[in-house]
Structure 1
Amino acid sequence: MALMRVKFTKMHGLGNDFIVLDARDKTLPVLSKETIRALSDRTMGIGCDQFLILESHAEATVRMRIFNADGGEVEACGNAARAIGLLLGEPATIATAGGLISTTPQDAGIAVDMGEPRFDWDAIPLAYPMDTAAMPVGWDMLEKPLAVNVGNPHVIFFVDDCDAVPLDSLGPQIETDPLFPHRINVNVASVVDRQTLRLRVWERGVGLTRACGTGACATAIAAMRRGLVERDVTVHLPGGPLRITWGENNRITMTGPATEAFRGSFELDDYP
């Protein structure tokens, strides 16, 4: 039986890295969670935060399926959208499980229309009703967060110094709390001034990450909702800055760089 060799592209957005498989003009076998986890492993596989599969779509330029490194499929990823926008090289629409988004190449990188934020408790979703602008809950030093869905669910805590928060221990506790039936992405942010935020993210199914595009969007929207910043801000993550704008039309635009690292191929039978 002939072995199946699969081509891939390795990309990243501010250090949030991806394995990209292009299945628009070919049929790939269904990849199991175990296979995706093996390919995403940084020691025994290629290594990535998210695993992306591109497919043809009747109403969009491309369909993007997104899998975290643990093999679980998720709704949206802003950094991945910028990477695919770079790969396509022209204005495009991308269908995701979180909705339809659009990308536009610009001098400053790739601009992504991330759609409209959702604030209702059952749109996050939460396990029971509460005010998502000031949630009456807390975990140790992290209290009274905001929650917002920007294609995937986020909870945001504002603190004096985001670098001082032990996010490696609190992140997994909050991610898997029963309050969040679909688990949650955890953001801790500090306000520098009315145009600038600093942010660290514990990403659902990934862990601590150098950058999270939807996390930057969610955090900026949360800060704007509380009146802490203007509606056009720069969010500084460990991997670098992203510009987030919340337009008068209620839509979020994220602008930042994306990079193609290298291309290669692998034998599918090597990853059971």
Structure 2
Amino acid sequence: MPLRFSKMHGIGNDFVLLDGRAADPALPAAVIRAMADRHTGIGFDQLLSVEPPRDPSCAFYYGIWNADGSPSGQCGNGVRCVATWLHRAGALAIGEDVRIESPSGPVTVRLLAADRVAVDMGEPRFAPPRIPFDAAQEADAYALDVAGETLPVGAVSMGNPHAIVVVDDLQSPALQRLGPALTAHPRFAEGANAGFVQPLGRDHLRLRVHERGAGWTLACGTGACAAMAVLRRRGEVDARVQVDLPGGRLQIDWPGPGHTLWMTGPAAFAFDGEWLAPAAAD
């Protein structure tokens, strides 16, 4: 049977979204990889599904799979697309707050306009076991050997693990080598999204992210949250920060420890279609 989907993106971080409210949308990893291929498939960074909630306090559940078929715990740009998709489906009104369930736990979304969404991403988690990250004690930065260089790395979870490095130049050729190496660093038990952040002021950051399971992306919502949280904890940025990624800008608000972090940004439809290709073999 043809598999209907919506192609969406949040500042260039692109997704295929499946409606699983009436039927289980689970797909083998090989099929996800075939769909994600940008030459012979649809092409996307992550696959999303909207399903009935597991948690009775939530209105919906959304699943997340990377382009390589591996599951993910959270996706900031993806949850904004889920909210916009729910609005088009008649399940979420502008101005309404709705609690929806991700693989890493509930989040609250607030639809500001049909194409703009604010998301309560929860409180950043810095304790190494909760990232998970191999460290004897919690610190603002950890000295890691990455591809032959020693880097000061901030480690945090936003529902998925992030490694944050402050740099002076986001165009440095060294990042092409450091990004994949940091993503696969053995001290991150589940891998990490590697974020390279260039501070432009106390309220303005520029960011590039190499995502586990997807590689370099135009945008990473949880990565923007993680970069701001690491620098905010160090006292280097204000409570509201604009984060520029290759695909566009996000607003991140976090007063600091003891408070939840909010991410605000756009979400857009590209097209709707049907996947007709046969299942790929492993």
Counterpart CA distance in 2 for 1:251 and 1:103 is: 13
C-alpha displacement of 1:62: 1.1
Determine if contact 1:40/1:69 at 8 Å carries over to the other structure: yes
Counterpart CA distance in 2 for 1:141 and 1:201 is: 19
Determine if contact 2:163/2:182 at 8 Å carries over to the other structure: no
Counterpart CA distance in 2 for 1:220 and 1:240 is: 16
TM-score, structure 1 as length reference: 0.93
C-alpha displacement of 1:15: 0.4
C-alpha displacement of 1:271: 4.3
C-alpha displacement of 1:66: 0.3
Question: Counterpart of 2:276 in structure 1: which amino acid?
Answer: E
Counterpart CA distance in 2 for 1:245 and 1:197 is: 13
Q: Which moved more, 1:104-113 or 1:133-142?
A: 133-142
Q: Which residue of 2 aligns with 1:47?
A: 43
Counterpart CA distance in 2 for 1:184 and 1:136 is: 16
Q: Which residue of 2 aligns with 1:34?
A: 30
Counterpart CA distance in 2 for 1:171 and 1:104 is: 33
Q: Which residue of 2 aligns with 1:127?
A: 134
Name stretches of at least 5 consecutive residues in structure 2 with no aligned partner. Answer: none
Q: Does 1:114 align with 2:121?
A: yes
C-alpha displacement of 1:162: 2.2
Residue by residue over 1:71-117, the C-alpha shift from the partner in whole angstroms, topping out at 9 and shown as x without a partner, is: 00010000001101111122322211111011111148100000111
Counterpart CA distance in 2 for 1:236 and 1:83 is: 19
Counterpart CA distance in 2 for 1:159 and 1:171 is: 12
RMSD: 1.7
Provide the secondary structure at the position in 1 that maps to 2:191: coil
Name stretches of at least 5 consecutive residues in structure 1 with no aligned partner. Answer: none
The structure 2 residue matched to 1:105, chosen from 90, 107, 111, is 111
Q: Does 1:11 align with 2:12?
A: no
1:38-117 matches, within 5 Å, as: 38-57=34-53, 58-89=56-87, 90=92, 91-107=97-113, 109-117=116-124
Question: Counterpart of 1:125 in structure 2: which amino acid?
Answer: P
C-alpha displacement of 1:193: 0.7
Provide the secondary structure at the position in 2 that maps to 1:115: coil
Counterpart CA distance in 2 for 1:110 and 1:61 is: 17
Provide the secondary structure at the position in 2 that maps to 1:37: helix
Counterpart CA distance in 2 for 1:164 and 1:246 is: 29
Counterpart CA distance in 1 for 2:24 and 2:137 is: 45
Runs of at least 4 residues off by over 4 Å: none
Q: Which residue of 1 aligns with 2:261?
A: 252
Count of residues in correspondence between the two structures: 268
Q: Does 1:201 align with 2:198?
A: no
Distance 1:147 1:38, change over 3 A: same
Question: Counterpart of 1:88 in structure 2: which amino acid?
Answer: L
Q: Which residue of 1 aligns with 2:243?
A: 235
Counterpart CA distance in 2 for 1:199 and 1:113 is: 21
Determine if contact 2:133/2:155 at 8 Å carries over to the other structure: no
Counterpart CA distance in 1 for 2:110 and 2:277 is: 33
Q: Which residue of 1 aligns with 2:20?
A: 23
Residue by residue over 1:156-205, the C-alpha shift from the partner in whole angstroms, topping out at 9 and shown as x without a partner, is: 01111222253322111111121111001100111101110010000111
Determine if contact 1:220/1:233 at 8 Å carries over to the other structure: yes
Q: Which residue of 1 aligns with 2:234?
A: 226
